[in-house]
Structure 1
Amino acid sequence: MSHPYSHISGSWVKVTSPRPHVALVELSRDPVNAFHEPFWTELGHVFDKIAEEPTIRAVVLASANSKLFSAGIDIGSLSGTLASESSPDPSRRALQLQGHIASFQASISALERCRYPVIVATHGVAYGLSIDIIAACDVRYAASSTSFAVKEVDVGLAADIGTLARLPKITGNQSLASELAFTARPFDASEALTLGLVSRVVNGGRDEVVKAALETATLIAEKSPIAVLGTKKLLLHARDHSVAENLDYTAVWNSAMLQTQDIPSAVVAFRKKQKPKFGPLGPKL
């Protein structure tokens, strides 16, 4: 069966459309979804392509593996990357590594850059790089079976792809976030809920949490795409700016967005007690 967004898929990142205007993105690299450079680069490219699709309104990110979300980075790949930075000069070697890290960060930040809300649905093991990925998503669900861990200190490095940048801002317990990052100890879905890393724990495994995420994505997809896009933009701006700065930014943003035809369409539908129908954002970007 052909899906409208299957052309976006890559070798390890598969894209389907199980609901109208909803893209389901699944990680699929056997045996444990461990990330090597081509995998994480592809993930970034897929989300950048999704952002160009005018008919998508919400995205669910999950694993195609029934047992786990991801074991994190492919340790063999990490060792190979460090060995490949071959300049004998420490400064030049540092610049090479800096470029590599920045490119890696940009790939994972594509989830945050995506103009549509991204809902991640985790289950089983979600270690290391999984936390960087989860933290870049807008809405985060976990199956009750999920085991998380910020594993980087166990392999001799500080997490550098987004966990330490985002975790203190998206969670409500600085002490617990620090403890988990310092110790690399596993924590379960209930503790992730306490931390604020996830907003919902779904009893069961992959199928149950993906179903819950798709239901939320379907609800979002029924809303005005202009309103949802703007809401994501303004929420991300608010996270990194003062209240006053965000209010100014919002005033400028909405001075343009309030001119949308989605507002009168929504008002008419409300008066008629009907669900409003909204058009796509426009031609493919």
Structure 2
Amino acid sequence: MNDLRCFTLSTQEHVAHLVLDRPEAMNTMHPAFWRELDQVLDHLHRAGDVRALVVSSTGKHFSAGMALETFGGAITLDDRSPEGRAAIFDLLTDMQATFTRIESLRVPVIAAIHGGCIGGAVDMVAAACIRYATRDAFFCIQEINIGMVADVGTLQRLPKLMPLGLLKELAYTGRRLPAERALACGLVTELFGSHEELVAGALACAREIAAKPPVAIWGTKQAVHYARDHGVEDSLRQMGWLQGAIWSNRHVGEAVAAMQQRRAGDFPALAPLKRFSEL
């Protein structure tokens, strides 16, 4: 994919690395950002050869969130009529779907966060599986500071990731959450001293994931997300169906043999996907 303006995308050892690459604009999110992110995630989801995705950034901040000049320019929110307000719902649904693609991607996603992770960027990393950060990183639910409610996933996903009281404090005040406190509350799982160490650590984790059977990683992600949103009894029942659907004696045997022989396992990739309309 060589036509990206807001990102760079590379793949090595079955690991994709997506980099926000507009440091001069603090990697803010304007319409091209959403279009390109949709395009990249759709490509990775359907291809089947990638086994993990790392999302990192460039410049001083991971991302300063939504580009405010977008509103009133490329995007107009009409609050003068019920029809206009209904259109706001549909617009937000479309934007929410882009970050939900991160959550529902067939492979794990690791967000590598440095500097500021502000506003819409918090929505974005909340949809990732794992969050690593530099020690100078911070998170800010910026929306309340500009007179609005965070609306693209922060308030829906963070209650599953951190203490509710702390989330409310941040959402009501717009205060910054420093990396050390983010680590302490579980939002972030590891801190690094520099951007270089951060990216290296995220890629190392992604390669470790990529060494496992892809369909077992897929099944694990399905089970964890289902259990997050359902009760134990329902989740155990779903686990039985899931395990029965993807169980492979070959994969288990190969994984055990690879451990015993201290070598990399040999596992098939996920099947590539096509839309029904393309068949």
Structure 2 unaligned residues grouped into runs of 5+:
275-279
1:141-185 deviations in whole A, cap 9, x for unaligned? 0111212111110111111100000000112x2111110111001
Unaligned 5+ runs, structure 1? 1-6
Aligned equivalent of 1:142: 133
- The reply to whether residue 98 of structure 1 matches residue 105 of structure 2 is no
Report the AA paired with residue 228 of structure 1.
I
Q: How far 1:275 moved relative to its partner? A: 2.8
**Paired residue type of 1:275:** A
Shift of 1:84: 5.4
In structure 2, the CA distance between the partners of 1:56 and 1:83, relative to structure 1 (3 Å rule), is closer
Q: Is the 8 A contact 1:226 1:262 kept in 2?
A: no
Corresponding residue of 2:55: 61
TM-score w.r.t. the length of structure 1 is 0.90
**Contact 2:71–2:77 (Cα < 8 Å) also in 1:** no
Cα offsets for 1:198-247 (capped at 9, x unmatched)? 1111112x212111100100111111101111111111111111111111
What is the alpha-carbon distance in structure 2 between the residues aligned to residue 57 and residue 74 of structure 1? 31
Q: How far apart in 2 are the matches of 1:108 and 1:148?
A: 17
State the match for 1:156 in structure 2: 147
| Structure 1 residue corresponding to 2:16, chosen from 16, 23, 30 | 23
Aligned to 1:170: 161
CA deviation after TM superposition for structure 1 residue 43, in Å: 1.1
- Matches of 1:83 and 1:275, distance apart in 2: 52
> Could you state the TM-score of these two structures normalised by the residue count of structure 2?
0.92
Shift of 1:269: 2.7
Distance in 2 separating the partners of 1:134 and 1:272? 37
Q: Percent identity?
A: 33
Deviates more, 1:154-163 or 1:186-195: 186-195
Per-residue displacement from partner, 1:70-92 (whole Å, max 9, x unpaired)? 01110111343663538x5x221
Equivalent positions of 1:123-134 (< 5 A) are 123-134=114-125
Query: Equivalences for 1:69-80 in 2 at 5 Å?
Result: 69-80=62-73
Separation of aligned partners in 2, 1:25 and 1:9? 14
Which residue of 167, 182, 193 corresponds with 2:183?
A: 193
Find out whether 1:121 has 2:107 as its counterpart.
no
Instruction: Tell me the number of residue pairs that the alignment of Structure 1 and Structure 2 aligns.
Output: 273
SS in 2 for 1:132: helix
Q: Is the 8 A contact 1:143 1:201 kept in 2?
A: yes
Paired with 2:214 and 2:222, the residues of 1 have a C-alpha distance of 12
Going from structure 1 to structure 2, the CA distance change for 1:251 and 1:9 (only over 3 Å counts) comes to farther
Change (3 A) 1:136 1:283: closer
- Which deviations, in whole Å up to 9, do the C-alpha atoms of 1:11-65 show, x marking residues without a partner? 2122102x300000011223211111221232122112111121100100001x2
Deviations 1:240-273 (A, max 9, x none): 1111111111111111111363223223334444
Check whether the contact 1:168–1:177 (CA below 8 A) recurs between aligned residues. Answer: yes
1:36 to 30, 36, 58: 30
Residue aligned with 1:97, SS = helix
SS of structure 2 residue aligned to 1:213: helix
CA spacing shift, 1:169–1:84, aligned 2, 3 Å: closer
Kindly indicate whether the alpha-carbon contact (under 8 Å) linking 2:41 and 2:102 is maintained by their aligned counterparts in 1.
Answer: yes
Say whether 1:244 aligns with 2:237.
Answer: no
Gap change, CA 1:8 and 1:227, over 3 Å in 2: farther
User: What's the secondary structure of 1:120's corresponding residue?
Assistant: strand
- Which AA in structure 2 matches 1:85? D
Matched, 1:280 2:269: yes
